[in-house]
Amino acid sequence: MSLPIRKFDTLVIGAGGGGLRAALQLSQADANVAVVSKVFPTRSHTVAAQGGMNAALANVVPDNWHWHMYDTIKGSDYLGDQDAIEYMCRAASHLVIELEHQGVPFSRLDNGKIYQRPFGGQSQNFGGEQAARTCAAADRTGHAILHALYQQNIKAKTHFFDEFFAVDLLKDKNGFIIGALVLEIETGEPLLIEAKTTLLATGGAGQLFRTNTNAKINTGDGLAMALRAGIPLEDMEFFQFHPTGIAGRGMLITEGARGEGGYLINKDGERFMERYAPHAKDLASRDVVSRSIATEVREGRGCGPNGDHVMLKLDHLGKEVLDKRLPGICETSRTFLHIDPVEEPIPVFPTAHYTMGGIPTDRFGQVVVPVDTGEEPIPGLYAVGECACVSVHGANRLGGNSLLDIVVFGRAAGNHIIDYLDANRYHHAIDDASVEKAMAHLQRWDKKGDGESVPELKDELQTIMEQNCSVFRTQDVLQECLNQVLQIESRLQNVRLKDHSKVFNTARIEAMELENLVDIAVATVTSALNREESRGAHSRIDFTERDDNNWLKHSLFYKEGRRLEYKPVRMKPMSVETFPPKERVY
Amino acid sequence: MTTETQTDNKEQARLRWQCRRGMLELDLFLQSFMDKAYENLSPEQKQTFSVLLETPDQMLLDYLTGRVIPYDKDIADVAKKIRLAAGPDA
Ligand SMILES: Cc1cc2nc3c(=O)[nH]c(=O)nc-3n(C[C@H](O)[C@H](O)[C@H](O)COP(=O)(O)OP(=O)(O)OC[C@H]3O[C@@H](n4cnc5c(N)ncnc54)[C@H](O)[C@@H]3O)c2cc1C
């Protein structure tokens, strides 16, 4: 099969904050870098992040990286790897300042220092008073970071393949990853990109669930590509449900709304978070608040004709504060719900938001897999950002830690790749068999005839996941969920496209995205079914307690045979003492 | 030979991809507009819609929620159409 080939030192798949930060590090070191993105880079999902990015700058109240580290570990319900968390929290302040130099206009305090807002799960002095650790560029932090990094990459001469869809990873004869088969969306033509190093930065998989806060492009493509290449996915049972998505619609009402003084009420008008988290109340960790809302609804204290949501009350903050501090969510509510938060509360419910699990990596961004009793990096393969599991978020991510994660580990991976390229100067030949396999995957969608439709099947998958694998889970329901997902997997074989045109064929891309979602659904439900404990975002009604004796370990799901393995949590930080697991109280 | 309809179809296919954005709100605004209302635009408005899609995501969101009114009147009109087509029942 003769296909056009382009060769680069590094192929970066994904142009969100993670991919762009890594690419910048590389281009500035004169590596020859290609960045592939299915949408124009500045339309990547990072653009949606409004709340901000955590760093213990101590500009508003006392703070330091060690407290940030503690909060992150506690937030992770002790499943986070403590070496990676220490690395991230220590690097944070430096990276905020670096971003500012790269052009991100962080908001200011009156004294000229960077403004910081309080977010959930942040404390001073290891669990004491609320901290204020989130740096923001008004309510468009992600946008500012993405645009700044894109401009810097253009300046550094990174090569962009805009609107190219990565289909599958390619291998050499020894099974090492050496690039990817990509599809030019405009022409529908395939292209092989061969690279000495490949970095996956394809973002999360929020589209797994019917109601979610994510853009439609968040279909976890990189996760599924990894699975198909034989790489396991780590901790996929941990999916974050954000407490305040607009009920039934999904749009995010930022945690900043509660940071500014908004609070949740049930149908009796009760501020119920006082019961669940007497100290932190509405600013307890996300998993805690989401569970509390779901419990209120399950116990009959939900609002609305179906009692299926609670309300976020903001009117007491007054029009001036709302218009100044939270203009975005006010507009969202007015436009989509015809509800003005200045007068009425907003209906909210826990909504699928963030993929804590992902492609297993170490703190250099290298993809790692178990070998004998330990683990080893796969030479030349990297992953960063929401598609990776490094694991700094463990069982539950804190708000403001993801923007931090993507720049910290984007940069770290860039640096590691520079060293790798120094020691590995030559391209390896592509194994034809891997090209044929990837092409077969692509050409499968050329089959004509009658069959089920992609949007209908996607809808079914999302509904099954939402109903059976969300905030509260049980053995029976998860087992039934798995059966249903596996049926969808087999029905996928009968799906046919009606549109076989080449130019901007959105239907074909959506079909491949659905395939990816199905693979990820199987990984998520299987991992959830096996974990017989409650930890962070994974709450089992039949195993209500955290069980450190048996389950203080990471899951690894392999596509082949739907096999699960486990590996220990890295409890030893780089330089400080371990934070041993404690009961989590907010 | 390319007919007018073929060019039209290609343009629609291109626009449909341009409606995939980085934020759920924009997906909801644009994709449902594309499905339901795009056809009813005049040829000039279709052209304007295409120009509007070049706007960066956060600015586009400001236009569509009405937080910022675009300076260009034609763009402002199309943005308003998109806003009104959204809402609780969309
Ligand atoms: C509404 C919302 C608000 C948020 N707010 C905050 C916040 O305030 N603070 C915070 O810390 N975090 C926040 N988050 C989380 C954070 O925004 C994301 O986790 C983070 O931006 C992910 O960045 P990324 O670089 O990993 O991926 P993304 O920004 O999602 O980028 C993924 C990239 O991969 C490309 N891609 C994907 N698949 C393919 C493919 N098959 N072929 C080619 N390219 C592909 C895409 O085109 C895109 O360029 C928020 C999330 C949401 C949903």
Q: What is the pLDDT of residue B87?
A: 72
Contact B88 A186 (CB under 8 A): no
pLDDT tens track for A457-510: 999 999 999 999 999 999 999 999 999 999 999 999 999 999 999 999 999 999
Q: Are A585 and A75 spatial neighbours (Cβ–Cβ below 8 Å)?
A: no
Q: What is the pLDDT of residue B2?
A: 59
Q: What is the pLDDT of residue A256?
A: 82
Contact A504 B10 (CB under 8 A): yes
Report d(CA A410, CA A421) in Å as an integer: 16
**A186 pLDDT more than 80:** yes
pLDDT-based confidence at A433, cuts 50/70/90?
A: very high
Mean pLDDT, residues A273-294: 92
Mean pLDDT, residues A377-385: 97
* Residue (of A250, A229, A238) closest to A13 by Cα position: A229
Report d(CA A397, CA A382) in Å as an integer: 21
Residue A166 alpha carbon, nearest atom of ligand 1:
42
Mean pLDDT, residues A515-524: 98
**A302 pLDDT more than 60:** yes
A286 catalytic? Reply is yes
**A439 pLDDT more than 90:** yes
Q: What is the pLDDT of residue B88?
A: 75
* B21: containing domain: 3-86
**B1 pLDDT more than 60:** no
Contact A46 B58 (CB under 8 A): no
pLDDT tens track for B17-75: 999 999 999 999 999 899 889 999 999 999 999 999 999 999 999 999 998 999 999 99
pLDDT-based confidence at A260, cuts 50/70/90?
A: confident
Report d(CA A313, CA A190) in Å as an integer: 51
* Residue (of B76, B45, B47) closest to B63 by Cα position: B76
* Residue (of A150, A87, A177) closest to A383 by Cα position: A177
Contact A43 B16 (CB under 8 A): no
Query: Count of domains in chain B?
Result: 1
Catalytic residue of the set A90, A228, A286, A397:
A286
b/e sequence B1-24, b meaning 16+ C-beta within 10 Å: eeeeeeeeebeebbbbbbbbbbbb
Q: What's the CATH code of the domain at B15? A: 1.10.150.250
pLDDT-based confidence at A37, cuts 50/70/90?
A: very high
| Average pLDDT value over all residues in chain B | 91
Closest chain A CA to residue B7: A503
ipTM of this predicted complex? 0.94
| Average pLDDT value over all residues in chain A | 96
Q: What residues contact A190, with CB distance under 8 A and at least 6 apart?
A: A3, A167, A181, A182, A183, A184, A439, A442
Q: For ligand 1, which residues put their CB under 6 angstroms from it?
A: A 13-19, 36-39, 41, 44-46, 48-53, 141-142, 165-166, 201-204, 213-214, 217, 221, 252, 353-354, 385-386, 399-403, 406
Measured distance between the N- and C-terminal CA atoms of chain A, rounded to whole angstroms: 60
Cα(A204) to centroid of ligand 1, in Å?
A: 6
* Residue (of A15, A7, A27) closest to A417 by Cα position: A27
Nearest by CB to B66, from A44, A48, A331: name it: A331
Report d(CA B64, CA B25) in Å as an integer: 10
Mutate to test the pocket of ligand 1, among A13, A20, A40, A46 (most ligand atoms within 8 A of CB): A46
Global confidence as pTM: 0.96
Distance from CA of B75 to the nearest CA of A (A): 18
Bigger pLDDT: A119 vs A38: A38
pLDDT-based confidence at A177, cuts 50/70/90?
A: very high
Cα(A63) to centroid of ligand 1, in Å?
A: 28
pLDDT tens track for A57-104: 999 999 999 999 999 999 999 999 999 999 999 999 999 999 999 999
**A397 pLDDT more than 80:** yes
